[in-house]
């Protein structure tokens, strides 16, 4: 191979390295870095600062609507990074639900509403999802993905607009997110999934 033939290969490699470097720079804004990352031996764990910013956005949205929410942010392994409970919420339905919704997103890497839609359309059943996969199939749990890297999940409960609150918070803090599926119609076809 001549040097002339190697030039395009070198240029392509440089462009690829530059693109992956900028993607890494985007990811590093939202994950644990430095000595804390070395200590935990993880490069893709959502940082507390990012979790706080996401939760604060959702909390502010709930307040603006005169609602209250409980918000859970988990790392990619399902461990709690942050839990926020606004005043006025109580009981397992409102306090444990966000953790369970986020865990559903951890298991599937999809919004918890995707499983809800599959149950509504008869593609699967609630017992199967809950018993075999420990999936709480209720809207309000979303995966947290940056630069195609799964860094955790978020769950919201008690607000009355849980999935939208989570989605808007992720969009505000992390940038554009994949569109949410519309709710399924009982007996209808499952909504088309965006790839």
In tens, the pLDDT along 163-172 reads 999 999 999 9
Same domain, 65 and 9: no
Residue partners of 40: CB distance under 8 A and separation at least 6: 32
- Residue 190 belongs to some domain of the structure: no
- Residue 188 belongs to some domain of the structure: no
State how far the Cα of 161 lies from the Cα of 71, in Å rounded to an integer: 12
How long, in residues, is the chain? 195
State how far the Cα of 119 lies from the Cα of 134, in Å rounded to an integer: 14
Mean pLDDT score across all residues of the chain: 84
Band of the pLDDT at 9, cuts 50, 70, 90?
A: very low
In tens, the pLDDT along 31-40 reads 988 888 888 8
- Residue 181 belongs to some domain of the structure: no
Expressed as residue numbers, the domain containing 59 is 38-174
Count of domains forming the chain: 2
* Angle in degrees, CA 192, 190, 177, rounded to 5: 45
In tens, the pLDDT along 77-123 reads 999 999 999 998 888 778 899 999 999 999 999 999 999 888 888 88
Same domain, 113 and 82: yes
Same domain, 23 and 111: no
Band of the pLDDT at 125, cuts 50, 70, 90?
A: confident
Same domain, 78 and 96: yes
Using a cut of 0.85, tell me whether the model's pTM lies above it.
Answer: no
Same domain, 42 and 111: yes
Same domain, 20 and 42: no
């Amino acid at each position: 191979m001549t040097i002339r033939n190697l030039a395009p290969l070198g240029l392509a490699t440089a462009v690829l390295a530059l693109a992956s470097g900028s993607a890494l720079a985007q990811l590093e804004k939202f994950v644990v870095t430095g000595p804390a990352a070395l200590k935990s031996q993880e490069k893709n764990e959502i940082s507390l600062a990012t979790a706080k910013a996401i939760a604060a956005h959702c909390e502010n949205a709930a307040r603006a609507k005169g609602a209250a929410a409980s918000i859970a942010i988990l790392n990619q392994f399902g461990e709690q990074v942050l839990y926020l409970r606004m005043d006025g919420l109580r009981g397992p339905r409102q306090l444990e639900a966000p953790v369970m919704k986020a865990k559903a997103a951890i298991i599937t890497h999809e919004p918890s509403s995707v499983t809800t839609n599959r149950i509504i359309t008869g593609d699967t059943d609630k017992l199967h999802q809950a018993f075999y996969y420990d999936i709480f199939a209720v809207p309000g749990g979303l995966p947290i993905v940056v630069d195609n890297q799964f860094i955790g999940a978020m769950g919201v409960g008690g607000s009355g607009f849980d999935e939208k609150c989570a989605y808007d918070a992720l969009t505000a803090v992390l940038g554009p997110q994949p569109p949410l599926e519309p709710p399924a119609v009982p007996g209808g076809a499952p909504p088309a999934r965006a790839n």
